Amino acid sequence: MDYKVKLDIFEGPLDLLLYLIRKNEVDIYDIPIALITEQYLAYLDLMTVLNLDIAGEFLVMAATLAKIKSKMLLPPSIDSEEGEEEADPRAELMEHLLEYQKYKEVADQLKNRELLEKDIFTRIQVEEDIPELDKNSTMIEASLFDLVDALRTVIARKDLPGNLMEVAVEKISVRDKIGEILATVKKNQQIIFQSLFDGLSTRYEIIVAFLALLELIRLRAIKVFQVHPHGEIRIIALEREVRIDTILH
Amino acid sequence: MEQTHIQKEQTKYIIECLIFASEVPLTIEKIKDVLEETSKKELKELVKELIEDYHKLERGIFIREVAHGYQFCTKPEYAHLIQKFRKSKPYHLTQPTLETLAIVAYKQPVTKAEVELVRGVDCTGVLKSLLEKKLIAFQGRKDVMGRPFLYGTTSRFLEVFGLTDLSSLPSIEEIKQLKEPDFPQCEQDTQ
């Protein structure tokens, strides 16, 4: 038999199985396990040949298929005298596929809707206010990872010129920046990370601001945290006197 | 009688202003906060009239009911020009993103593990990108071992997909019905 393989990118084993079911025009309620398993494994082989990484999930599904296939080969047990029907070994998989298919369907419907910022536009919304901190909100300390990630977003949003030489007329020092940030944070109780970089247009300025922030964290003059993981990074001042003149000497 | 008609018209114009001035979809409750004298029922009727008025006028903008409220927006037929003007990039919604979003929308509040169970693949990255797009948000933690985070959709989600509320998503039964005629169609293709 000649397989003509169209290599769609399959999101996962369920996606691949649904594709195979559709391609073979078989009933999802009565999956010919032997056929589907064979084709499924052929796909995995192909992926290996193409040097694609096969995610673990694909292998787990291969094992599940093999298990179902072997169960189906066994004669039905004769123990059940009352004529109870034995559960179809495919039942669990079938249910799983049906459920997944349902959400795929919803996904398609969502995609076909008129989308905001694509088909429909509203007036530009300003960034939402930072919700007030209450006593119940958890503070998750932002890791260096989070900070670097946020910095990357800032730089990406700024759309900085690529390889242009930057000629800064007046360069601000990290030390000055520390003072500036500290003053802003103390004045506003809490500020969001992004706002530190508002109005900064050169890479140099952004890096200086970032270094200043790191220095302030090291000195425990401020605290950077998130209320939710991956949420907005906020900065608050800690009750601690920092003498700027002693910094960075 | 004539007087009340004028008053009614005026109330309608005020509602129009409020919807225009609001940054987010304006709810009836918010309108009621300003127009205390008018009943919610009346307000709803007036909003309906207003929507109808815009419809009749055939202008570039219209009022739509979305995310529990009302909002001015541009007509889809001019989308390409507004994109050009805004220089904005529409949400890049990939198949995995949409699938995950669909699962969160129906099963919320839902944990990452529960989403992954349905999709059969790791969903860490997809969930993170949905959080960044503010289409989903954390909704506390589930009281099971490990106290995993629970996710749910946001009002931004409703806005982006033009849904009035979550109940305007097709019901699970409806989806099943949609799915049924799919198979005979396949058979026809083979013949």
Span of A24-38, A128-142, B40-54 with lowest mean pLDDT: A128-142
C-alpha R_g of chain B: 21
Per DSSP (E only), the strands in A128-248 are 140-141, 190-192, 222-226, 234-237
> A80 CB contacts (<8 Å, ≥6 apart)?
A86
Q: At what angle do helices A33-49 and A56-73 cross, to 10 degrees?
A: 150
To the nearest whole Å, the CA of B91 is away from the closest chain A CA by 7
Task: Compare all CA atoms of chain A with the CA of B66 and give the residue at the minimum distance.
Answer: A116
Which of A115, A129, A159, A194 is most worth mutating to test chain B (most B CB atoms within 10 A of its CB)? Answer: A115
List pLDDT tens digits, range B6-19.
888 999 999 999 99
Alpha carbons A147 and A206: distance in angstroms, whole number = 13
A55 or A131, greater pLDDT: A55
- Residue B172 with chain A: CB contacts under 8 Å: 102
Instruction: Report the residue from A25, A102, A229 with minimal CB separation from B175.
Output: A102
B91/A126 touch (CB, cutoff 8 Å), yes or no: no
SS3 A83: coil
Render pLDDT for A75-117 as a digit per residue (tens, 0 to 9). 776 655 555 566 788 999 999 999 999 999 899 889 888 888 8
Backbone angles phi, psi at A182, to 5 degrees: -60, -45
Q: State ipTM.
A: 0.80
Please give, rounded to a whole number of angstroms, the shortest distance from the CA of B5 to a CA of chain A.
31
Task: Say if residue A173's pLDDT is above 60.
Answer: yes
Q: What is the largest CA-CA distance in chain A?
A: 93
User: Which chain B residue has the Cα nearest residue A25?
Assistant: B186
- Mean pLDDT lowest among A56-70, A184-198, B47-61, B105-119: A184-198
> Does pTM top 0.80 for this prediction?
no
In the predicted structure, residue A164 carries a pLDDT above the cut 60: no
Chain B, nearest residue to A23 by Cα? B186
Q: Which two tokens stand for residue A16?
A: 């691949």
Phi, psi for residue B91 in degrees, rounded to 5 = -50, 130
Which are the contacts of B152, defined by CB distance < 8 A and separation ≥ 6?
A: B104, B108, B109, B110, B136, B137, B139
CA distance B62 to chain A (A): 10
Select the residue of A14, A105, A118 nearest B90 (Cβ to Cβ). Answer: A118
- Is the Cβ pair A230, B71 closer than 8 Å? no
pLDDT above 80: residue B120: yes
pLDDT at B84: 85
**Substitution target from B64, B88, B119, B122 for chain A, most A beta carbons within 10 A:** B119
Of the partner residues A25, A27, A115, the one whose CB lies closest to the CB of residue B190? A25
Q: Does A152 touch chain B (CB under 8 A)?
A: no
Interatomic CA distance for residues B116 and B103, integer angstroms: 10
Between A134 and A31, the more confident residue is A31
Burial class (CB in 10 A: 0-12, 13-18, 19+), A245: exposed
Q: Which of residues 20-49 of A touch B (CB under 8 A)?
A: 22, 25, 27
CB contact under 8 A, B79 and A106: no
Contact B90 A61 (CB under 8 A): no
Cα A155 to Cα A76, A130, A232, B86, B128: the distances in Å are 65, 21, 16, 20, 19
| Tally of CB atoms within 10 A around B184 | 9
pLDDT at residue A6 greater than cutoff 50: no
Q: What is the mean pLDDT of chain A?
A: 79
The DSSP string of B29-88 is HHHHHH-TTS-HHHHHHHHHHHHHHHHHHT-SEEEEEETTEEEEEE-GGGHHHHHHHHTP
**B95 exposure class (CB count in 10 Å sphere: 0-12, 13-18, 19+):** middle
pLDDT of residue A231: 73
Report which of B15, B61, B48 is spatially closest to residue A123, judged by C-alpha positions: B61
Measure the CA–CA gap between B149 and B123, rounded to whole angstroms. 13
